[in-house]
Structure 1
Amino acid sequence: MNLVWQQFTLSSLTVKEYFATSYLYRSIVGLLSSWRQSSILLQWGDTIAAALLSIIYCLAPFVSTTLLGLLLAACGVFWLLLTLSDEATPTNSSSLTPIHLLVLLYWAIAAIATAFSPVKKAALNDFVTLTLYLVLFALCARVLRSSRLRAWLIALYLHVSLIVSVYGMRQWFFGAPPLATWTDPESPLSKTTRVYSYLGNPNLLAGYLLPAVIFSLVAIFAWQSWYKKALAVTALIVNASCLVLTFSRGGWIGLVVAVLTTLALLIYWRSLQMPPFWRTWSLPILIGGLLGVLLLGVIFIEPLRLRIFSIFADRQDSSNNFRRNVWDAVFKMIGDRPVLGIGPGHNAFNKIYPLYQQPRYSALSAYSILLEIAVETGFVGLGCFVWLLIVTFNTGYLQLQRLRQIGNIEGFWLIGAIASMLGMLAHGTFDTVWFRPEVNSIWWLLVGLVASYWTPLAKNRTSELNSTNSEPSAS
């Protein structure tokens, strides 16, 4: 059974050997290697790539999607240049992971879905956008192999998120006009301020800040100096407060899932040093304490209580009722094109959805990541995406085991990535801000972060055996 799981998750796949036999890989990679050797600029290729990524993650909350698209295109061109000028050596091929293979497979399925789309022109535009995001993943996975560049990009994201959260907190204290009807006008919370900071939408702000909260939490353990730890604590308090004040129910759900996952993984990380009692009971005690705090908040904080209870109000809440009506139409869309869907992107969705929508329930998306992917690429694409998630989380867990055994504090960033991804998926179950560039760019950064730690399972076992044999015996 374990062997079947390893094969399904590609844990024992030697990607280096796979690409070594690939004619396409050998004919493309290294095509411009001779030019790179004489180029002073490309000698600093990874540093320049990190600078491009820094510009994206620094500007993402503040600029238009058009400018972000241009920056993504620049990253795509530079990644292609780096790939063509790489030498086809075992070292370079070993940086390609099972996650890369499944991302490539998902891209291929999206390409086929585009070719068979009933609205090919609209689907093609968003297929290009999807391609840019997937290339962004490839560039992130490459750059983040460097622990120095990894630390830089994470710190940059946390500093930018802190600026975004401070402005959001200012809106809470001084008020901010709603830019859309985000709350049921008949609800007691209709006059409550929902902060949106620079992003213009509280749900989008919650999606953007969720990974920032988790990385602020793990930074307390990963950063060594006290002033850095103080910065991490400050970022945790401000980011978490701002996220809560978005009053985004999906964001709250994602935050709870992400925090519980982080606590579980942190306890797993420390379990080797824990006494037997705490190894057994620390997680139940922490979860019970967290749930107790949430329960007290629901009892004594009326806005929190009303907002949480609205989750279970079904169609009596206008937001719930709207999503239910959209989902009814989406199920019909999936039923008519179940294999490959209508093609990727919101442009294709906007062309097809009006044919199925109920009166007065226009929508720009399916309000669920999984439903959106099923609509766009059918069950074939959805199955590939779920497979990608399984392989990514399995890869993250295996590498966390490896880092835990050697006591490498880089494992804290891996914990942050895994927990943040689970939280974003929980949020995305009931919303589609995941597809917005401010959030989607962070998602692929997280996937690239997990991929950057990857080593083959066989290599892990060999290293463990070598380390065991090299340990001095107790005298």
Structure 2
Amino acid sequence: MNLVWQRFTLSSLPLKEYLATSYVHRSLVGLLSSWRQTSILLQWGDAIAAALLSLIYALAPFASSTLVGLLLVACAGFWLLLTLSDEVISTNVSSVTPIHLLVLLYWGVAAIATGLSPVKKAALNDLGTLTLYLLLFTLCARVLRSPRLRSWIIILYLHVSLIVSVYGLQQWFFGATALATWVDPESPLSKTTRVYSYLGNPNLLAGYLLPAVIFSLVAIFAWQSWFKKSLALTMLIVNTACLILTFSRGGWIGLVVAILAVMPLLVYWKSVEMPPFWRTWSLPIVLGGLIGVLVLAVIFIPAFNQRVFSIFADRKDSSNNFRLNVWDAVFEMIRDRPIFGIGPGHNSFNKVYPLYQRPRYTALSAYSIFFEVAVETGFVGLGCFLWLIIVTFNTAFLQIQRLRQLRSVEGFWLIGAIATLLGMLAHGTVDTVWYRPEVNTLWWLIVALIASYWTPLAQNQTNSSHSEPTVN
């Protein structure tokens, strides 16, 4: 059974041996290696790539989608240049992981869906956008192999998210004008301020801050000095408060799922240092305390109570009713094109959805990433996407076990990555802010973070003498 699981998750796939003998790999990688040896610019290739990534993650909450798109094009072009000028050595071969293969497979399914799409022009345009995001993943996975650059990108994101959260809290204390129809005028909370900071939408802000909450939490354990731990604690409090004040139900669901995931993982990591009593009871105490806080908040905070119970109001809540009507149309779209869907992207969706929509329920997406994937690329694409998620989590768990044996603090970032992905998937089940650049770039950054730790299974089992550098 273990062998079947290893094969399904590609854990035992001999990638290094395959790529070393692959004609396509040998003919493309290293094509410009002789030029790179004489280029002063490319001697600093990874540092330049990190600078491009830094621009994306520093500007994403503040810049237009057009500017982020141009930066994605720059990242894709620079990744291609680096790949063509790489030397074919074991280090570069090992940088290709099972996650890379599933990303490539998903792109291939999306390309087939584009070819079979009833709106090929729109689908082709969106396939280009999807390609840019997937190439962002490959560049991130390459850069994040360096512990120093990995630490820099994480620290940058956490500081930018702190700026975003501080402005969100300012909106809460001083008021903010609703910029769109995400406040139901018939709701008891219609007068309640929903903060949106620089992102213009509270649901989008919640999706953007979710990784910040979890990574600031694990940073308390990963960062070594008390000053840095205090900074991480400040980030945790500010980011959590701002996310809660978005009053985004999807964001709250994602936050609860992420916290319920990160706590057992932290207890698992720390259990080797605990006395027997705490090894047994620490997890029930922590989870019980968290659930108790949530119950008290529901009981004694009216705004929180009303927002939480609206989740279960079915069609009596206008937001729920809107999503249910959109989903009814989406199910019909999936039924009519179940294998490869209508083609990737919101342009394809916008062309086809009006043919199925219920009167007065216009929508730009399926309001669920799983439904959206099924609509765009059919059940084949959905299966591939789920396979990618499973392989990503399996890779992360294997590397956590390896780093736990080495007692490397790098394992905390993997713990944060697992919890964050689970939270983002939970949020994405009822919303599609996942497709916005501010959130989608973070998703692929976190997937790349997991890929950057990958080691082949045989090496993972015997590599107890080498330790990941400590992040301070």
| Superposition TM-score tier, normalisation by shorter sequence | over 0.9
> Pairwise mapping of residues 24-423 of structure 1 onto structure 2 (< 5 A)?
24-423=24-423
TM-superposition CA deviations, 1:91-115 (whole Å, max 9, x none): 2111110000000000011011011
Letter in 1 for 2:55: I
Letter in 1 for 2:346: H
1:406, CA displacement in angstroms? Answer: 0.5
Q: Distance in 2 between matches of 1:223 and 1:392?
A: 25
1:226, CA displacement in angstroms? Answer: 1.3
- Residues 183 and 319, structure 1, Cα contact 8 Å, conserved in 2: no
Letter in 2 for 1:416: G
Task: Give the aligned partner of residue 428 of structure 1.
Answer: 428
1:282, CA displacement in angstroms? Answer: 1.1
- Residues 99 and 388, structure 1, Cα contact 8 Å, conserved in 2: yes
1:227, CA displacement in angstroms? Answer: 1.2
1:9, CA displacement in angstroms? Answer: 0.5
SS of structure 1 residue aligned to 2:311 = helix
Task: Give the aligned partner of residue 471 of structure 1.
Answer: none
Letter in 1 for 2:329: A
> Pairwise mapping of residues 8-23 of structure 1 onto structure 2 (< 5 A)?
8-23=8-23
Letter in 2 for 1:67: L
TM-superposition CA deviations, 1:10-63 (whole Å, max 9, x none): 111121112122211111000000000000110110000000000000000001
Letter in 2 for 1:234: T
Q: Distance in 2 between matches of 1:183 and 1:64?
A: 24
TM-superposition CA deviations, 1:84-135 (whole Å, max 9, x none): 0001122211111000000000001101101111001101111000000000
Q: Distance in 1 between matches of 2:462 and 2:59?
A: 43
SS of structure 1 residue aligned to 2:463 = helix
Q: Distance in 1 between matches of 2:260 and 2:41?
A: 45
Q: Distance in 1 between matches of 2:198 and 2:461?
A: 47
TM-superposition CA deviations, 1:263-302 (whole Å, max 9, x none): 1110010111112222122111111100000000001000
Letter in 1 for 2:351: K
Letter in 2 for 1:145: R
Q: Distance in 1 between matches of 2:457 and 2:82?
A: 27
Worse-superposed segment, 438-447 or 218-227: 218-227
Q: Distance in 2 between matches of 1:12 and 1:458?
A: 8
TM-superposition CA deviations, 1:233-252 (whole Å, max 9, x none): 11101000000000000000
Letter in 1 for 2:417: A
SS of structure 2 residue aligned to 1:363 = coil
1:225, CA displacement in angstroms? Answer: 1.1
Letter in 1 for 2:13: L
TM-superposition CA deviations, 1:135-160 (whole Å, max 9, x none): 00000000000000000000000000
Letter in 1 for 2:366: A
Q: Distance in 2 between matches of 1:366 and 1:423?
A: 19
Letter in 1 for 2:376: E
SS of structure 2 residue aligned to 1:189 = coil
Q: Distance in 2 between matches of 1:12 and 1:284?
A: 35
Q: Distance in 1 between matches of 2:22 and 2:419?
A: 35
Q: Distance in 2 between matches of 1:96 and 1:118?
A: 34
Q: Distance in 2 between matches of 1:153 and 1:72?
A: 16
1:463, CA displacement in angstroms? Answer: 2.3
1:230, CA displacement in angstroms? Answer: 1.0
Worse-superposed segment, 439-448 or 13-22: 13-22
Q: Distance in 1 between matches of 2:284 and 2:222?
A: 24
Letter in 2 for 1:403: L
Task: Give the aligned partner of residue 470 of structure 2.
Answer: none
TM-score of the superposed pair, with normalisation by structure 2: 0.98
1:363, CA displacement in angstroms? Answer: 0.2
- Residues 184 and 317, structure 1, Cα contact 8 Å, conserved in 2: no
Structure 1 spans left out of the alignment, 5+ residues: 468-475
Q: Distance in 1 between matches of 2:345 and 2:357?
A: 18
Letter in 1 for 2:228: K
1:405, CA displacement in angstroms? Answer: 0.4
Q: Distance in 1 between matches of 2:110 and 2:20?
A: 26
Q: Distance in 1 between matches of 2:204 and 2:47?
A: 30
Q: Distance in 1 between matches of 2:99 and 2:179?
A: 39
Task: Give the aligned partner of residue 472 of structure 1.
Answer: none
Q: Distance in 2 between matches of 1:417 and 1:313?
A: 32
Q: Distance in 2 between matches of 1:264 and 1:14?
A: 32
Letter in 1 for 2:148: R
Letter in 1 for 2:115: A
Letter in 2 for 1:283: L
Q: Distance in 2 between matches of 1:21 and 1:380?
A: 30
SS of structure 2 residue aligned to 1:108 = helix
Q: Distance in 1 between matches of 2:405 and 2:53?
A: 31
Q: Distance in 1 between matches of 2:444 and 2:453?
A: 15
Letter in 2 for 1:327: W
TM-score of the superposed pair, with normalisation by structure 1: 0.97
TM-superposition CA deviations, 1:379-426 (whole Å, max 9, x none): 000000000000000000000000000100011111111111110000
